[in-house]
Amino acid sequence: MSSSTMHFNRSGSFITIEPGIERSFLICEFRICKTDINAELLTKYLKEVAEALHLSAHEQHNPITILPIESTADTQHTLDASWSGKNGKIHAYYWPKQRLLTMEAHTRNSEIPTNNITQITKNHFGLIESTQLSLAAENAKQENSKIEVRDDVKLGRGVFAKEDIAKGEFIGGLYGKFHKAKDCMALPEEYRDHVMQCAAHLWRGNKSAQEAVQYLNHSCDPNCGVHGLFDFVAMRNIKAGEQITTDYAMQDDSNWVVPGGKCLCGAANCRGTILPYRDLPKEDKKKYQSYTSHWILHKYSICSCAKK
């Protein structure tokens, strides 16, 4: 497994995680009862979680790193913990104001025992509510050769079809770094407008500057939607020369604000602003259901796996 690198700003509100080679990916968000979380408690918790995930520590190496984050803003996480082992990695964060313990696990194991993790969390900290999403790792796919980035008069750069694209056809995906922050607007500006949200405090960006899909513009009448967590597919047939657009609400449920504050898509049904998923009209949520990010469907118990 490739090594993990992390970058912090002084406030502790932002972290970047390099993706590794994994077979399963787990996102957990636990609202817990206990409030006096410290490094010792988090270390004991991570050791038990790592055992439940069947991770083995590297020989002669302390697999757990706890970083207390000094911050005056109570909206930020105050403890940052990571486990690095032979079979995977765990990253955990504690957000005191929300009593939120978030965790991402990347493992080489084909399945992750999510029920065990819930019980371990309850035993250590008490549990008010939990959301967990366990998926097989999505393999990076080659971007569709029928698309290109061109200048758009109103919106700057945009993605356009060079040839006709059929409904359901893969457009491209974001498979680069994971970015961790207290909210979207806390992300560095160079990432903020070019990432996909995949959990309440987690976003994923592009792998290289050449990837076209990071330049997909928003439209309130899109022709492209989300499949899984990181892929985009055509919602209908797209003609050569047509701009490929997506509704950002299909992947975003954060506090992200469009630069300038107004939507400029020009669609007949333009809402005038770009909304997070939670504020979408019911009819749009229904229309987008097959093209909404899996993490949002799971969060609102819309997908079948969230109802189990």
Instruction: Let me know whether 84 and 169 are in one domain.
Output: no
95-133 pLDDT per residue, tens? 777 788 888 887 776 666 777 888 999 999 998 877 776
Indicate the residue among 136, 157, 178 that finishes a domain: 136
* 174-194 pLDDT tens trace: 888 888 777 888 888 888 888
Q: Report yes or no on 232 lying in a domain.
A: yes
CATH number at residue 113: 3.60.90.10
- Residue 2, in any domain of the structure: no
Kindly state whether residues 302 and 156 are assigned to the same domain: yes
Residue 272: which CATH number? 2.170.270.10
Count CB neighbours of 262 within 10 A: 11
pLDDT tens for each residue of 264-274: 999 999 999 99
Residues 170 and 302 in one domain: yes
The answer to whether the CB of 256 falls within 8 A of the CB of 248 is: yes
Same domain, 95 and 185: no
Q: How far does Cα 68 stand from its chain's mean position?
A: 23
Q: Is residue 251 part of a domain?
A: yes
Confidence at residue 12, expressed as pLDDT on a 0 to 100 scale: 33
Task: Look at residue 6 and tell me if it is in a domain.
Answer: no
Q: Number of folded domains in the chain?
A: 2
176 close to 205: Cβ distance less than 8 angstroms: yes
Tell me, yes or no, whether 193 and 228 share the same domain.
Answer: yes
Closest CA to 197 of 129, 292, 62, 289: 292
Looking at the structure, tell me whether residues 164 and 39 fall in a common domain. Answer: no
7 occurs within a structural domain: no
Contacts 24+ apart (CB under 8 A), 191-198: 192/256, 193/259, 196/226, 196/229, 196/230, 196/251, 196/252, 196/293, 197/251, 197/252, 197/253, 197/254, 197/293, 197/295, 198/27, 198/229, 198/230, 198/293, 198/295
Torsion sign across C-alpha atoms 156, 162, 166, 171? negative
Same-domain pairing of 202 and 284: yes
Q: How confident is the model at residue 50 (pLDDT cuts 50, 70, 90)?
A: confident
Residue 141: inside a domain: no
Which pLDDT tens digit goes with each residue over 66-100?
A: 665 444 344 455 677 777 777 778 888 887 777 88
Looking at 115, 136, 157, the residue that finishes a domain is: 136
Specify whether 172 is located in the same domain as 276: yes
Contacts 24+ apart (CB under 8 A), 83-86: 83/46, 83/49, 83/50, 83/55, 84/4, 84/58, 85/50, 85/55, 85/56, 85/57, 85/58, 86/1, 86/55, 86/56, 86/57, 86/58
159 and 247 inside one domain: yes
Examine residue 231 and state whether it is found in any structural domain, yes or no: yes
301 and 160 in a common domain = yes
Q: Is residue 106 in some structural domain?
A: yes
Phi/psi for 128 (5° steps) reads -90, -50
Domain extent at residue 34: 14-136
152 and 301 assigned to the same domain: yes
Instruction: Please identify, among 81, 114, 136, the residue that sits at the C-terminal boundary of a domain.
Output: 136
Q: Is the domain of 159 the same as that of 117?
A: no
> Is the pLDDT assigned to residue 49 strictly greater than 80?
yes
Provide the percentage of residues in the chain whose pLDDT is more than 70. Answer: 79
The model's pTM is 0.71
